[in-house]
Structure 1
């Protein structure tokens, strides 16, 4: 039997032959992917396959241990095992100055020490909350504000040193009525136990951030940008695991310079399943006061992507979504496989590769993928984030053969976000964006 890497190289390159590839790989029967038809939720919250159930572990307005209240607009999230054996969830909240009155602080509360920015003496409410749960019962034992004073903390990523990289999806600055330039990444320890001092990692760049993923082998951080003409970035730390000590920011380009635009909007230049050798371009002035990092990178030859969003490290490779990619603008998923010499001078003769893993042409199958994770069985679980007055968002599963299926359907008018798994793979956590609800889902993963 082919191993997962060998098999996926073949199967993704020939997506139309998925069933034949399945048979060749292991004599599997050609059965429908996924876990079966979704079952209607009597509570009207989320439909799941047979054998799966959920519980609400936290929701908007709940009182937290620090005297604050659970804020709204829960987005990206990571799950960690603490030294105590407990689980920690670090959860982003996509809030800005306009949400001060409805943020986590009670009326009249003093601005806590460590807050990054404020408006008119009030803390900007964007940031993170942390939940500590019993690993067996999933009972919340502690819940507190862990980052404050940031704007539109959208997604982020877990690190090998047990922290959450929280990313600002805003480049607001003093000209916009706030006190500090924004657009940074912040490192929030999972076991902080309290509000951390908000220290932006400026060498990692200033842009409309979305998500981050860390290669545990090298410590290199890969990052997405949520703009129509976004770049795909990586940060080479001077000291792996110590991002505050600086490093070098780069953007992805292709050896084949005819592929300058991966979006496929007008002229499809990347075919689904195709692999392309990657080159990396150094970026100067990463703090980008003019918010032109992506423009300067494209001028130097960096490839454009269609709204890079969720990113997650898998089996020696990573996946990231491009929300509006493809001729139908329904979304793409990219897969990057680093070089064995990633980030070294030898990389040029042994480059990494990027694959257009999935490109949707049918919104009923896959529409506007956002946050994503890799499930214990190797499938992707992707959160849809549709736009419009009425939305029908799903959790989409994607098999290693490129087959898409519905894992869940959100019954309320909001988006699913922050999907992640406990380290043992037995529990999947998920945010419902607004009104905030954090769910724990268990079943035969």
Structure 2
């Protein structure tokens, strides 16, 4: 297992591989394939010509440590292994809530939990069974296309949905449920936990309580400032940032803040037909519109009443709907950008993508004079375009790749991976053909940009996609 010192020493490479991706993007090229997608004879995943996939992990597969691979794979990130360009390390969430009693890492009767000391399992249900959420980690050989080592890395949390990679080589995993201790759980939930990418055994679970207790979805870290940006999966949610007291040591406390639109109290950015403030909502925010931002401090972030978003909105914070994936990136001229999705916002109520431009004085005293800005980057006009955008990642050639989490029901629709170019153009890249039509999750590139990893949450698959990435058009 690599030490924290080794991971820190190689922070740039070990976070998201941005340097490699930026160099890749600079080479550019033109696409050698044309749409529509080519039909997969195996009936799992349609891809453009020249691309192929490999199923590298399935729910229930025995991991190297003897535990079965948990189900419901969700958010995920790939990390460079210092000194080893042929391999990368991935950390993967498992979105299992307190009512789930199967598909966990401890077997059908939970007897495998006895292999761990109780302090390595964050929480137990009142009936004594361990909660089944958490993370697994694995080492992937980019040359052979195989997993070489895999293990449980966080246990006993609940509904670990998305999260985010840190520049110091760890994964922030977010609990999407905020249960209070009671009939379902023994402890309070709704926290963020940190998992070192190099951990080959379960880490001691420590909630980062100063980041707030709410229905966390995802996190993104600006490597230049160490500030963490956070989304919340609720219909009246806020957009947050965490200013840590000590860069890279998030558990040692910090300030939690919520985003406001300057000059507008509780601006409703959902673009729904009903306004919470006259003049805001109902399609008022236009695609490409730039809004000046302020940030307000939040208090009582432990939120025993689960009302952090309500109290923040009452003080003027802007309203979003169901914040989902978030990712840090850079503009072509190198400026930092934070993209995040709101899954059912917009006039058609099928999703938005926002872009936040941090202030040059982000989190500092000069921020008021030189504030950050928020831009509605994309709003889907209807389900025929993109629906329920969720996890996302920066594409090596520019733009984004987004996962769809369509509320399928009995509708004849399929989930897709979508490319969203910097010009706001949407290009379908993959279609899920599996009979369960589960959501795509955890999309991320390997540090060398050779492989795109993604999960299909039902039935619980992790895929590695390769192909002519270097010929993709810059966007």
Asked if TM exceeds 0.5, the reply is yes
Aligned counterpart, 1:376: 396
Provide closer, same or farther for how the CA distance between residues 129 and 84 of structure 1 changes in structure 2, counting only shifts above 3 A: farther
Aligned pair 1:417/2:441, yes or no?
Answer: yes
Aligned counterpart, 1:72: 71
| CA distance in 2: counterparts of 1:432 and 1:398, whole angstroms | 20
Aligned counterpart, 1:427: 451
| CA distance in 1: counterparts of 2:210 and 2:306, whole angstroms | 14
Aligned counterpart, 2:113: 110
Aligned counterpart, 2:309: 294
1:185-236: CA deviation from partner (whole Å, max 9, x where unpaired): 0000000111011100000001001000000000000000001100000000
1:357-378: CA deviation from partner (whole Å, max 9, x where unpaired): 0011121111110111111001
Aligned pair 1:255/2:270, yes or no?
Answer: no
Question: Which of residues 355, 358, 364 in structure 1 aligns to 2:378?
Answer: 358
Provide closer, same or farther for how the CA distance between residues 118 and 336 of structure 1 changes in structure 2, counting only shifts above 3 A: same
| CA distance in 1: counterparts of 2:366 and 2:393, whole angstroms | 31
Aligned counterpart, 2:40: 41
Q: Is the 8 A contact 2:393 2:401 kept in 1?
A: yes
Q: Is the 8 A contact 2:240 2:258 kept in 1?
A: yes
Aligned counterpart, 2:160: 153
| CA distance in 1: counterparts of 2:40 and 2:328, whole angstroms | 31
Q: Is the 8 A contact 2:408 2:414 kept in 1?
A: no
Per-residue deviation at 1:405?
1.0
Aligned counterpart, 1:327: 347
Aligned counterpart, 2:138: 131
Aligned counterpart, 1:7: none
Provide closer, same or farther for how the CA distance between residues 32 and 82 of structure 1 changes in structure 2, counting only shifts above 3 A: closer
Q: Is the 8 A contact 2:265 2:316 kept in 1?
A: no
Secondary structure, in 3 states, of the residue corresponding to 2:251? helix
| CA distance in 2: counterparts of 1:166 and 1:68, whole angstroms | 20
Question: Which of residues 285, 291, 295 in structure 2 aligns to 1:280?
Answer: 295
| CA distance in 2: counterparts of 1:395 and 1:125, whole angstroms | 28
Q: What TM-score comes out, normalization by structure 2 length?
A: 0.85
Per-residue deviation at 1:173?
1.7
Aligned counterpart, 2:147: 140
Q: Is the 8 A contact 1:33 1:405 kept in 2?
A: no
Provide closer, same or farther for how the CA distance between residues 60 and 409 of structure 1 changes in structure 2, counting only shifts above 3 A: same
Aligned pair 1:190/2:205, yes or no?
Answer: no
| CA distance in 1: counterparts of 2:80 and 2:145, whole angstroms | 13
Aligned counterpart, 1:98: 99
Secondary structure, in 3 states, of the residue corresponding to 1:174? coil
| CA distance in 1: counterparts of 2:409 and 2:459, whole angstroms | 16
Secondary structure, in 3 states, of the residue corresponding to 2:347? coil
Q: Is the 8 A contact 1:261 1:269 kept in 2?
A: no
Provide closer, same or farther for how the CA distance between residues 194 and 39 of structure 1 changes in structure 2, counting only shifts above 3 A: same
Aligned counterpart, 1:240: 247
CA RMSD of the aligned region, Å?
1.8
1:386-438: CA deviation from partner (whole Å, max 9, x where unpaired): 11324411111111100111011111211111000011111100000011110
| CA distance in 1: counterparts of 2:351 and 2:381, whole angstroms | 8
Per-residue deviation at 1:272?
0.8
Q: Is the 8 A contact 2:33 2:49 kept in 1?
A: no
Q: What TM-score comes out, normalization by structure 1 length?
A: 0.91
Q: Is the 8 A contact 2:142 2:451 kept in 1?
A: no
Secondary structure, in 3 states, of the residue corresponding to 1:244? helix
Provide closer, same or farther for how the CA distance between residues 183 and 33 of structure 1 changes in structure 2, counting only shifts above 3 A: farther
Q: Is the 8 A contact 1:394 1:407 kept in 2?
A: yes
Question: Which of residues 209, 228, 236 in structure 2 aligns to 1:229?
Answer: 236
Q: Give the number of aligned pairs.
A: 417
Worse-matched range after superposition: 214-223 or 250-259: 250-259
Per-residue deviation at 1:33?
12
Q: Is the 8 A contact 1:33 1:404 kept in 2?
A: no
Secondary structure, in 3 states, of the residue corresponding to 2:195? strand
Provide closer, same or farther for how the CA distance between residues 127 and 84 of structure 1 changes in structure 2, counting only shifts above 3 A: farther
Provide closer, same or farther for how the CA distance between residues 339 and 35 of structure 1 changes in structure 2, counting only shifts above 3 A: farther
Question: Which of residues 389, 402, 409 in structure 1 aligns to 2:409?
Answer: 389
| CA distance in 1: counterparts of 2:88 and 2:321, whole angstroms | 35
Aligned counterpart, 1:5: none
Q: Is the 8 A contact 1:41 1:47 kept in 2?
A: yes
| CA distance in 2: counterparts of 1:256 and 1:33, whole angstroms | 48
Aligned pair 1:169/2:170, yes or no?
Answer: no
> Structure 1: which 5+ residue stretches go unaligned?
1-27
> Structure 2: which 5+ residue stretches go unaligned?
1-27, 274-281, 331-335, 470-475
Q: Is the 8 A contact 1:231 1:305 kept in 2?
A: yes
Per-residue deviation at 1:89?
1.0
Provide closer, same or farther for how the CA distance between residues 147 and 262 of structure 1 changes in structure 2, counting only shifts above 3 A: same
Provide closer, same or farther for how the CA distance between residues 32 and 326 of structure 1 changes in structure 2, counting only shifts above 3 A: farther
